[in-house]
Amino acid sequence: MIFVTHSLPVNSADGPVLSRSDVWDGLVLKANNALPFVPSMTECVVTARLSDTVFDRDIVLRGQPHTERITLQEPQRVVFTRIAGPVLGTIANEIEGDDDDLHLRFSFALVVTGVEPGSSEEKEYADGMTADYLRAVASTLDAMRKVAEGAES
Tell me, what's the pLDDT at 90? 96
pLDDT at 137 over 60: yes
Which alpha helices (DSSP H) does the chain contain, by range? 20-32, 120-152
Write the pLDDT tens digit of every residue in 73-126: 999 999 999 999 999 999 999 999 998 899 999 899 989 888 888 899 888 888
Tell me, what's the pLDDT at 117? 87
Q: Which residue has the higher pLDDT, 63 or 152?
A: 63
How many whole angstroms separate alpha carbon 128 and alpha carbon 2? 11
Q: Return the biggest CA–CA distance within the chain.
A: 52
Tally of residues, the chain: 153
Write the pLDDT tens digit of every residue in 32-52: 999 988 888 999 999 999 999
* CB-based contact 45:60 (threshold 8 Å): no
Return the amino acid letter for 48: A
Sequence-separated (6 or more) residues with CB below 8 Å from residue 135? 39, 40
Write the pLDDT tens digit of every residue in 90-104: 999 999 999 889 999
- Residue spans of beta strands (DSSP E) within 10-128: 41-49, 54-61, 64-73, 77-84, 87-96, 103-112
